[in-house]
Amino acid sequence: MSKRDYYEVLGVSQDASKDEIKKAYRKLARKYHPDVSEEENASEKFKEAKEAYETLSDQQKRAQYDQFGHQDPNQGFGGFGGGQDFGGFGDIFDMFFGGGGRQRDPNAPRKGADLQYTMTLQFEEAIFGKSTDVEIPVEEACDTCDGSGAKPGTTPDTCPHCEGSGQINQEQNTPFGRVVNRRVCHYCQGSGKIIKDKCQTCGGDGRVTKRNKIHIDIPAGIDEGHQIRVQGKGEAGVNGGPAGDLFVVIRVQPHEFFQRDGDHIFCEIPLTFAQAALGDEIEVPTVHGKVMLKIPAGTQTGKTFRLKEKGAPNVHGRGQGDQHVKMKIITPKNLTERQKELLREFNDISGNEATEEQHGNFFERMKRAFKGD
């Protein structure tokens, strides 16, 4: 499937300014971001808009796109792309073409790493939501050296081996002749700089680990396994790049009485034989407080009643679930002689009539089975 024109994706003209492109991308990002959008194929549309913005917001990439479109100008040799590895041929291509466009500027801004934090909630906290603060260990730029890694009052020196480029050209003799192979400078690890007087706080790394207090708003109705994305609260960026994001993974402790399935809550209520036979009005606990439930006479074990909108709120704001209450008839133990006497009297009076009235079809089938019908 061919890609759509990047200008068409963002809805801008080919002579659009950088600000117009940025504004158009932000509008689409708010509309299609997977964390907030309910649109169909939102993830694919967001990815398409992001790809278009990354190309058109970069002057060099935009010029290349305007000239070549989606086709990679570095493709050749039967369609081998510059970013692929074909069983060792990539190294040969690197030797002939000096790495082509695959080398990354070691001093270019890079986004910081994303972080993940697991938060455990009580059952009711997941139902109603909460606001809380958490402490997250993150790497940030060293305050002492402002991230340079050099002792205050000093500056890093240009690497004499790569002359600040971060890369070293190595000549090799091959069956095809002498070729140049470009590699990351191992003296400066590609930074292009050498630190002689290192910062005592960070040891020359330019980054230190800190514990950041981050405020988290847990929405009502969140459930086990859901994630909350907190933008810009991950690791600090490199070379002035943006910070990564924090992803909070939710775990919910089980409840001793309630069980949850999506937005619905389930529970089991015990009934005495007398309550089930004669009917009653009982008090039923819900996460929203106690409610009265009328039990009709002749209620059987396993019968389920629905309490409308007494479940969990939908985390996306789409209504509220129900609570389903299942009846369980409890057989009494340790009966007194008087209780036994009354039950015998009840059994003598009713005989099989009561059970046949409730389960007539079952007993009819059983009788036919014994008669061989």
Mean pLDDT along residues 351-366: 55
The CATH number of 1-70 is 1.10.287.110
Check the annotation: does 267 bind a ligand. no
What is the Cα gyration radius of the chain?
Answer: 35
> What tens digit of pLDDT does each residue of 153-191 get?
888 888 888 888 888 877 776 666 677 677 778 788 777
> What tens digit of pLDDT does each residue of 38-50 get?
777 888 888 888 8
258-329 architecture in CATH? Answer: Sandwich (2.60)
For residue 85, pLDDT beyond 60: no
Which range has the worst mean pLDDT, 288-292, 306-310, 339-343, 357-361? 357-361
For residue 119, pLDDT beyond 90: yes
Higher pLDDT, 137 or 293: 293
Instruction: Note whether 109-143+208-254 and 258-329 share their fold.
Output: yes
DSSP letters of 3-17? PPPHHHHHT--TT--
Check the annotation: does 188 bind a ligand. yes
Every domain of the chain and the residues it spans:
1-70, 109-143+208-254, 258-329, 337-371
Helices (H), the chain: 6-10, 18-32, 42-56, 59-68, 89-97, 123-128, 273-278, 337-350, 353-358, 360-371
> What tens digit of pLDDT does each residue of 87-115 get?
333 344 444 444 444 455 666 788 888 89
206 neighbors 126 (Cβ within 8 angstroms): no
Which range has the worst mean pLDDT, 132-136, 276-280, 310-314, 351-355? 351-355
Pick from 358, 307, 303, 292: nearest CA to 329: 303
> What tens digit of pLDDT does each residue of 11-22 get?
888 888 888 888
Task: Indicate the length of the chain as a whole number.
Answer: 373
Check the annotation: does 142 bind a ligand. yes
> What tens digit of pLDDT does each residue of 128-156 get?
999 999 998 888 888 888 888 888 988 88
For residue 84, pLDDT beyond 50: no
Give this prediction's pTM. 0.57
The CATH number of 109-143+208-254 is 2.60.260.20
| Helix 42-56, helix 59-68: angle, nearest 10 | 100
For residue 344, pLDDT beyond 70: yes
